[in-house]
Amino acid sequence: MQRREARRRGPAWIRRIVRSERDEPNLDHVRRIGARFLGLGFIGYPIVSPTNIAMSGSITASWWIPLSIVMSVVPGLALFLASFRDGTRWLAPLSICLWICYLVTVALWFVAWDGTTIVGADDVGQWMIAICGMPAMVLMLVDPRLSAAGLVTCSLLGHMSQQVGRFGQLTRDLGFEEIWSIAFTAVFLAVVLVAIRTARSLDETQEVAYHRAAVAAAATAREVEKARFDAIVHDRVIASLLAVREGTPDERLAVQARSALDELVRMPAQEGGAVSRAETLRRIRSAAAGISERIEVRVFGDSVSGTAASGQDASGGDGGGGYPVEVVKAVVEAMSEALRNVARHAGTEADCAVIVQLADDGLSMAVVDNGEGFDPDEVAPGRIGIEVSIVGRMSRVDGGHARVSSRPGRGTTVRVGWEKP
């Protein structure tokens, strides 16, 4: 159910836009630890297998043994060292490279073979047969389908070379040895797959929890604001109206009325006329949820606690500095207009996301949808939603800017932001 909820609120096209490797910290950690362990295996096996390597060298040309060791150790060392880097973008190309290195090395064994066979029944004709399943285990960290292809190809080529080295030809036992090798390695692949899926499930559970917390925070903010307005209307506005009498207006009544109006339009702000990052984020989420709870708000850059959010939802804390009241008001209202345009013009099947970046020297966001789109050059002059409510509103703020990008059938992206002058 958690996975279905994550899919409903985060369509694939939106998740690709906002996805960061740090969105899946547990999966990222499991992949890096697995890569580190397997990299050590490729490095260590030649060290602990001098006897098998010597047996292989007795029936091959002298160049193949050092080549095979290099083709095992170097990719393994690269895999081990890369596992200490942040993220796992390196994993897919490196795992495919390691797979290709194994296949090329074993294929070159047939070129290096001198035509003789090993003597002992338990001797090894091609020492890399012992690690034929390891490329598949590395590929499992990336994709199960690649892993299956890697297991079949590496195992088949490895056992073919082993039989040629032992018997001088392929025998009827090749199929049995291939099946046994695949079944044996599949046990370890299943362990890796379970670890990967468990980590991904944990990340999705955390993501759903972040989303629910954001919806709850937005709902709470709306209720607090509604209660504030209800109290003002009851205590100030209605009281002022009931105090109206025929005759000359009481000056005190005029002062009371002006105070009520000021209270209605006042934006709660911190001392010094600044709105904290936490309050800014709450207002953004509240405004977005007020238009549609299907809209996902994701935060990038500095979080409200002053650390890198990198796609994680952030909440709580002062977050250090804040933003001017008029900036927050303009950005939120421009965003709200963009979201209303999505609801009116993008189409009923369109999905939408709000991508926010909070930084020390600026505030920016993008409203992205995959709806019908339009040609900005053909917008009628009478349509003031974009020109006045978005672009014009941001241009009136010192340091503010807005840009609308759209193409028919390709969706629309509205970017609004502010940079500290």
Span 119-141, mean pLDDT? 87
| CA proximity to 126, closest of 71, 184, 53, 177 | 53
Q: How confident is the model at residue 236 (pLDDT cuts 50, 70, 90)?
A: low
Residue 171, in any domain of the structure: yes
**Whether residue 179 sits in one domain with residue 56:** yes
Residues 170 and 289 in one domain: no
* Residues 287, 180 within the same domain: no
Cβ-contact 256, 240 below 8 angstroms:
yes
* Structure confidence at residue 97 as a pLDDT band (50, 70, 90): very high
Look up residue 266 and give its DSSP letter: P
Q: pLDDT at position 416, please?
A: 92
Domain holding 115, by residue range, is 2-208
170 and 292 together in one domain: no
Q: Which two tokens stand for residue 389?
A: 């409510």
- pLDDT over 60 (residue 39): yes
Residue 118 CA to its chain's centroid (Å): 52
Q: Nearest to residue 351, comparing CAs of 412, 397, 309? A: 412
Residue 296 · residue 328 · CB < 8 Å:
no
pLDDT at 19: 46
Q: Quick check: 278 pLDDT over 50?
A: yes
CATH number at residue 302: 3.30.565.10
Which pLDDT score is estimated for 17?
A: 44
Cα distance between residue 42 and residue 44, in whole Å:
6
pLDDT band at 319 (very low <50, low <70, confident <90, very high): very low
CA distance 185 to 193: 12
DSSP string, 71-133: HHHHHHHHHHHHTTSSSSTTHHHHHHHHHHHHHHHHHHHHHHB-S---SSTT--SSGGGGGTT
177, 262 Cβ separation under 8 angstroms: no
The confidence band for 381, taking pLDDT boundaries of 50, 70 and 90, is low
42 and 120 in a single domain? The answer is yes
Q: Give the pLDDT of residue 310.
A: 36
Claim to verify: residue 189 and residue 309 sit in the same structural domain: no
How distant is the alpha carbon of residue 87 from its chain centre? Answer: 11
Q: Between 152 and 345, whose confidence is greater?
A: 152
For 163, the token pair is: 């039989």
| pLDDT band at residue 16 under the 50/70/90 scheme | very low
Q: Is residue 239 included in any domain, yes or no?
A: no
> Has residue 320 got a pLDDT over 60?
no
- 273: enclosing H helix or E strand: none
Q: Tokens 């009481």 label which residue? A: 250
**In sequence order, what are the residues at sequence separation of 6 or more whose Cβ sits closer than 8 angstroms to the Cβ of residue 401?**
394, 395, 416, 417, 418, 419
When mean pLDDT is compared across 72-86, 261-275, 303-317, the lowest value belongs to: 303-317
- Of 177, 208, 239, the position where a domain reaches its end is 208
Residues 152 and 15 in one domain: yes
Domain count, the chain: 2
Same domain? For 157 and 290 the reply is no
In a domain, 255, yes or no: no
- Most confident region among 3-12, 210-219, 371-380, 389-398 by mean pLDDT: 389-398
* Domain identity same for 27 and 109: yes
Residue type, 121: A
287 with 368, same domain?
yes
- CA 419 to chain centroid, in Å, comes to 26
H or E segment to which residue 322 belongs: strand 322-324
Residue 75 lies in a domain: yes
Query: Does residue 343 surpass a pLDDT of 90?
Result: no
Residue that terminates a domain, selected from 189, 208, 227 = 208
Closest CA to 279 of 255, 315, 245: 315
Q: 29 to each of 25, 88, 314, 331, 357, how far by Cα in Å?
A: 6, 9, 21, 37, 25
- Structural tokens at position 263: 């209270």
Is 353 among the domain residues? yes
Given 208, 223, 251, the domain boundary residue is 208
The answer as to whether 267 is a domain residue is: no
Separation of alpha carbons 233 and 347, rounded Å = 37
Nearest CA-CA partner of 402 in 328, 335, 322: 335
Rounded distance between C-alpha atoms, residue 420 and residue 64, angstroms: 63
The pair phi, psi for residue 20, each rounded to 5°, is: -125, 155
| Nearest by Cα to 165 from 121, 108, 120, 117 | 117
Establish if 221 belongs to a structural domain. no
> Do 184 and 280 lie in a common domain?
no
**Residue 50 resides in a domain:** yes
299 & 204 share domain = no
